[in-house]
Amino acid sequence: MVRILGIDPGSHKTGWGIIDAEGTRFRYVASGTITAKGKELAKRLVLIADDLDLIIGQHQPNVGAIESVFHAKNSQSALKLGHARGVALLSMSRAGLEIGEYSPTQIKQALTGAGRAQKEQVAQMVQLLLGHGGPFGLDESDGLAIAMCHGRFSGSPARKFLAAKMLEKAP
């Protein structure tokens, strides 16, 4: 079994989700949204990093996954998103996690079968596939979707980690 942390970064709201993956089965562990209020970006980034460090310490994931950069129409928004991604990558890296990065299209495809699915469709599939009563907030469900996407890709660090653990137990 592999514990996967998925992060949907944002400079105001960062969604996160943790699942246990065993083969193609997923079990819900925890999820939430880090809400960083205030005008000063640097202080919001510290809050995001501190909260992620606590979440990682509490739930002890084996691997991490994050949404990759996409092209935004507003360059200021893209820069702020890049800062939030950097903070999340730093928190996961400091904890020694291997990290997978997935585009929004890959995440939607892995969960719904359609790369252009709406956020609400992804949230419904997360709830259905995890068998969780929910409902989850959209940022929270995106964090869970990223973790599930990571668990589905056969070449992912999660699968490699599981294979290595199985080899360790072999006689």
Choose, from 8, 51, 140, 142, the residue flagged as catalytic.
Answer: 8
Distance in angstroms (rounded) separating the CA atoms of residues 158 and 100: 9
Choose, from 51, 139, 140, 142, the residue flagged as catalytic.
Answer: 139
Distance in angstroms (rounded) separating the CA atoms of residues 93 and 95: 5
Q: Would you call 120 a catalytic residue per the annotation?
A: no
CB 145 within 8 A of CB 126: yes
CA atoms within 13 A on the CB side of 135: 8
Q: Would you call 67 a catalytic residue per the annotation?
A: yes
Choose, from 51, 67, 140, 142, the residue flagged as catalytic.
Answer: 67
Please give the positions annotated as active site.
8, 67, 139
